[in-house]
Chains A and B, each alone.
Chain A
Amino acid sequence: MVLRLTGMQKRFGGVQALVKGDLEVRRGEVHLLLGENGAGKSTLMKIAAGMIRPDGGEMVWQGGRVSFRNPAEAQRAGIAMVHQESLLAPHLTVAENVWLGREPASRWGVLRRGEVESATRRLIEEHGFPLQPEWRVERLGPAGRQLVEICRALAHQANLLIFDEPTSALSDRESSEVLRIVQDLKLRGLAVIYITHRMSELREVGDRATVLRDGSTVFSAPMQEAGDDELIRHMAGRQAEGVFTRTPLPPGKEMLRVEGLSRRGVLEDINFSVRAGEIVGIAGLMGSGRTELCRALFGAEAADSGTILVDGRPVQIDTPRKAVEAGIALAPEDRQSHGLAAGRPVGENITLASLDRFSPGGVIALGRERAETGLIANRLRLKASSLDQEAGKLSGGNQQKAVIAKWVMRGARVFLFDEPSRGIDIGAKREVFELMDELARQGAAVLMVSSEMQELTGIADRILVMKDGRIATELPRHASQEQILRAATMGVTV
């Protein structure tokens, strides 16, 4: 036993990310850490790597109780994390990045460049990495950057390496290279913790698995004793909270039709349609193309090929402006950077997409603007101290309502929601879902991307499951969470 975490707790604001995180890792094993998005896997690992400090719980490392105050302490103790988003300095070389912060230098602070390069070269050759010490990191793709991070960890003499979804951004060939390296590290006697969503990888590398759900460890066993079904059941058995269950309508005419939509390396031959009055859910793991599909439909990252039809008419969408003109609205996942002008009043945000209507000749009719904005804000039950309140000071739920109000004001007919409940507390989530239902009842077509399965099963009339940039399968309303997870991880039609 090299690492034992017991009863780890961590709270972020109003969210209890970890309730009771337990984990035991042995020397020379690849330990899989499984769970849905938001189950607490990354939080638990960030605690182990010294990136965040727990509120409670005990951590034992190589036989002694420890509590790391920062990542440097964890690294000195021999724990290193290979990050999903690379934390490297892109303008420096591979060798410089590997030794960053611990450069061999003379007494006067002059770098021994030769030593840096030769030490890196030895490391690369020993492990057979396809890298050169003098390459600049900015030229490397995500796979290469991960190898540099691994080198860095090895150069730090790490005894435990933590991989956070290392293959989510990699091609199949690159993924198998990473898996080979993980196997190799294990054979050299290191312990590896491996976070993943891909079921196919599990059997290949994993020795033991631990499943987290809603911030607690619910299952731990050697891989030989754990079946796929059992693992999925433990991951998905999530208790619904504040869920809204919608009664579907008889759908109206086709409002959105997508034919053969593709974007190189991201989306492949996407076909589906959404009718007026319908809410269609999109499920899929991170990197499956869910968000990219929303962005392509909204023109933020336009598709290379394929046809989009709104209300029966083909539309060319290569900028958000074209999408807005075609009647498409996007409530983005990241409201702060793409949804709202946070420093400006709520009222101004609500009319931002339809100002033309209030300003014939360029001068805004402030009275009329205010009156109509007030009406919509009331209709959506948007709570603000006044329409002049800064949008950024609203609660998450009311910010989302302000985004919706902006598109209702514009008269959008097709609504794309990317993770509509992200950053919103439970009571407000329900209200947002009720609004989505209301939009559909008034004849809008609603497309909703979510990684919260119980939200999808509660609200969507049917669910498209994406995997590797394609729609893997379509599931009916009230599909079980297990069915969705199975389709998303293995791409199997149930």
Chain B
Amino acid sequence: MLQRILPFLTLIALAAALALATPHFLTGMNLASLFRQTAVINIMALGVTLVIVAGGIDLSVGSMMALASLLGCMAMERGSGIAAGILIGVAAGAAFGLANGVIITRMKLNPFIVTLGALGIYRGLALMISGGVPVHGLPKEFSYLGEGAVAGIPFVLILLAVCACAVHFLLARTRMGRYAFAIGSNPGAAYYAGIPVAFHTSAIYAVCGLMTGLAGMVESSRLMTGQPTSGQGYELQAIAAVVIGGGSLRGGEGSAAGTLVGAMIMGLLSNGSDLLGISPYLQQAIIGAVIILAVFLDELRKRRMGAAA
């Protein structure tokens, strides 16, 4: 039990330590900027949580995000209107995710390889259709998505909460979520129980794509441009958030709450290092070490459970 809530305790300890170490941490401004910064990775990581629970992996989400949001921004630039533009970005993400899922399940290929290929394809397409140049000329009101606030609470925070609740509900209460756990825990048993494994796996990749598209639109709104180069390396941060939050790359484990905590831990490490004046070069190494430590602790828990059984 202790180790199940360990990520959460770590987060609290980290926040407390930072609050004591620097007066600049617990300020409304810093916290709002912290949430805004981490929201994009966070939303993406929630989608990746679903894929990892189902025993898959999606390495393409970083470049998928760039391509999907680029399409949304190009639509807005051509006068589609804000709502339609956001919708296009989100729908494009869902379509790319579905494409990943269908290729993995129908061609029976390893998800690592398929999404590694997709990572290159989506990035290449994004650079090609934009000519490598960012899309400007977005409607001014579009910035509300990433920078707006409701009663002093950043809008992205509300959006993130809604996404987290949706993913939690999906995993805990719906048939799709139940099947995701079953497929991730033991694909053989799921198949032998008569579950349409390929259909549900594809659908899960599509939902992951959908959330990636949404994350992309938030990022575009914050930058007020559609960047063909955005999201580079985000896939690894998203996967790290899931894993720090208790998700297992062997499938069958993971939760929305865990991923939120995992993403926040990474956000705090980076924010705290900035405040304490730690070199950004060293930051990367610190986060890398935390990932290894988190997975090690999780392994210890599982080995102990294995020994008990």
A91 interfacial contact with B, CB 8 Å: no
Question: A353-369 CB contact bits vs B (8 Å, 1 = yes)?
Answer: 10110010011101000
A320 interfacial contact with B, CB 8 Å: yes
Residues of chain B within 8 A (CB-CB) of A406 are 193
Q: Are A339 and B175 touching (Cβ within 8 A)?
A: no
Q: Are B175 and A359 touching (Cβ within 8 A)?
A: yes
- CB closest chain-A residue, reference B191: A320
Q: Are B193 and A344 touching (Cβ within 8 A)?
A: no
Q: Are B185 and A341 touching (Cβ within 8 A)?
A: yes
B291 interfacial contact with A, CB 8 Å: no
Q: Are A342 and B176 touching (Cβ within 8 A)?
A: no
Given A341-B189, A355-B175, A359-B175, the answer on whether A325 and B181 have CB atoms closer than 8 Å is: no
Partner of A339, one of B174, B189, B194, B252: B189
Q: Are A362 and B189 touching (Cβ within 8 A)?
A: no
Query: In the complex, how many angstroms separate the beta carbon of B240 from the nearest chain A beta carbon?
Result: 22
Q: Are B189 and A338 touching (Cβ within 8 A)?
A: yes
Complex CA–CA separation, A366 to B181 (angstroms): 16
Given A353-B193, A392-B309, A393-B309, the answer on whether A337 and B178 have CB atoms closer than 8 Å is: no
- Give the contact-size bracket for chain A: 20 to 34
Given A353-B193, A355-B179, A363-B174, the answer on whether A337 and B188 have CB atoms closer than 8 Å is: yes
* Chain B contacts with A in 50-84, Cβ cutoff 8 A: none
B33 interfacial contact with A, CB 8 Å: no
Q: Are B173 and A364 touching (Cβ within 8 A)?
A: yes
Residues of chain B within 8 A (CB-CB) of A353 are 193-195
The number of chain B residues with a CB under 8 A from chain A is 23
Partner of A337, one of B173, B174, B189, B309: B189
* Chain B contacts with A in 162-215, Cβ cutoff 8 A: 173-176, 178-179, 181-182, 185-186, 188-196
Complex CA–CA separation, A406 to B195 (angstroms): 13
Complex CA–CA separation, A393 to B305 (angstroms): 9
A456 interfacial contact with B, CB 8 Å: no
Complex CA–CA separation, A359 to B182 (angstroms): 16
Query: In the complex, how many angstroms separate the beta carbon of B251 from the nearest chain A beta carbon?
Result: 9
Q: Are A343 and B185 touching (Cβ within 8 A)?
A: yes
Query: In the complex, how many angstroms separate the beta carbon of B181 from the nearest chain A beta carbon?
Result: 6
Question: B262-294 CB contact bits vs A (8 Å, 1 = yes)?
Answer: 000000000000000000000000000000000
Residues of chain A within 8 A (CB-CB) of B174 are 359, 362-364
Complex CA–CA separation, A391 to B252 (angstroms): 13
Residues of chain A within 8 A (CB-CB) of B175 are 355-356, 359, 362-364
B253 interfacial contact with A, CB 8 Å: yes
Given A364-B175, A366-B173, A392-B309, the answer on whether A344 and B181 have CB atoms closer than 8 Å is: yes
Residues of chain A within 8 A (CB-CB) of B309 are 390, 392-393
Residues of chain B within 8 A (CB-CB) of A366 are 173
A25 interfacial contact with B, CB 8 Å: no
Q: Are A341 and B182 touching (Cβ within 8 A)?
A: yes
Partner of B193, one of A343, A352, A390, A392: A352
Given A348-B181, A363-B173, A364-B174, the answer on whether A343 and B252 have CB atoms closer than 8 Å is: yes
Query: In the complex, how many angstroms separate the beta carbon of B49 from the nearest chain A beta carbon?
Result: 16
Main secondary structure of the interface of B (DSSP, over half): helix
Residues of chain B within 8 A (CB-CB) of A332 are 192
Residues of chain A within 8 A (CB-CB) of B195 are 321, 352-353
A202 interfacial contact with B, CB 8 Å: no
Q: Are B173 and A352 touching (Cβ within 8 A)?
A: no
A453 interfacial contact with B, CB 8 Å: no
* Chain A contacts with B in 298-345, Cβ cutoff 8 A: 298, 300, 320-321, 323-325, 330, 332, 337-344
Given A338-B188, A392-B309, A406-B193, the answer on whether A355 and B178 have CB atoms closer than 8 Å is: yes
Q: Are B194 and A341 touching (Cβ within 8 A)?
A: no
Query: In the complex, how many angstroms separate the beta carbon of A347 from the nearest chain B beta carbon?
Result: 11
Q: Are B188 and A352 touching (Cβ within 8 A)?
A: no
Residues of chain A within 8 A (CB-CB) of B182 are 341, 344, 348, 352
Residues of chain A within 8 A (CB-CB) of B252 are 341, 343-344
Residues of chain A within 8 A (CB-CB) of B192 are 298, 300, 320, 330, 332, 338-339
B174, B185, B186, B190, most chain A CB atoms within 10 A: B186
Residues of chain B within 8 A (CB-CB) of A320 are 191-194
Q: Are A344 and B196 touching (Cβ within 8 A)?
A: no
Q: Are B189 and A323 touching (Cβ within 8 A)?
A: no
Complex CA–CA separation, A338 to B190 (angstroms): 8
Partner of A325, one of B178, B179, B189, B194: B194
Q: Are B193 and A324 touching (Cβ within 8 A)?
A: yes
Query: In the complex, how many angstroms separate the beta carbon of A479 from the nearest chain B beta carbon?
Result: 31
Q: Are A324 and B185 touching (Cβ within 8 A)?
A: no
Q: Are A341 and B196 touching (Cβ within 8 A)?
A: no
Residues of chain B within 8 A (CB-CB) of A348 are 178, 181-182
Q: Are A362 and B176 touching (Cβ within 8 A)?
A: yes
Question: B233-266 CB contact bits vs A (8 Å, 1 = yes)?
Answer: 0000000000000000000110000000000000
- CB closest chain-A residue, reference B306: A392
Residues of chain A within 8 A (CB-CB) of B178 are 348, 352, 355, 359, 364
- CB closest chain-B residue, reference A359: B175
Residues of chain A within 8 A (CB-CB) of B185 are 341-344
Residues of chain B within 8 A (CB-CB) of A349 are 189
Partner of B194, one of A324, A359, A390: A324
* Chain A contacts with B in 364-389, Cβ cutoff 8 A: 364, 366
Question: B138-173 CB contact bits vs A (8 Å, 1 = yes)?
Answer: 000000000000000000000000000000000001
Residues of chain A within 8 A (CB-CB) of B194 are 320-321, 323-325, 353
- CB closest chain-A residue, reference B175: A359
Q: Are A352 and B176 touching (Cβ within 8 A)?
A: no
Q: Are A352 and B189 touching (Cβ within 8 A)?
A: yes
Query: In the complex, how many angstroms separate the beta carbon of B21 from the nearest chain A beta carbon?
Result: 39
Residues of chain B within 8 A (CB-CB) of A338 are 188-189, 192
A-B contacts, 13 of them at CB < 8 A, read A300-B192, A321-B196, A337-B188, A339-B189, A339-B192, A343-B252, A344-B182, A348-B182, A352-B189, A352-B190, A352-B195, A364-B174, A366-B173
| 4 further interface pairs, Cβ-Cβ under 8 Å (given A341-B182, A344-B185, A355-B175) | A338-B189, A341-B190, A344-B181, A362-B176
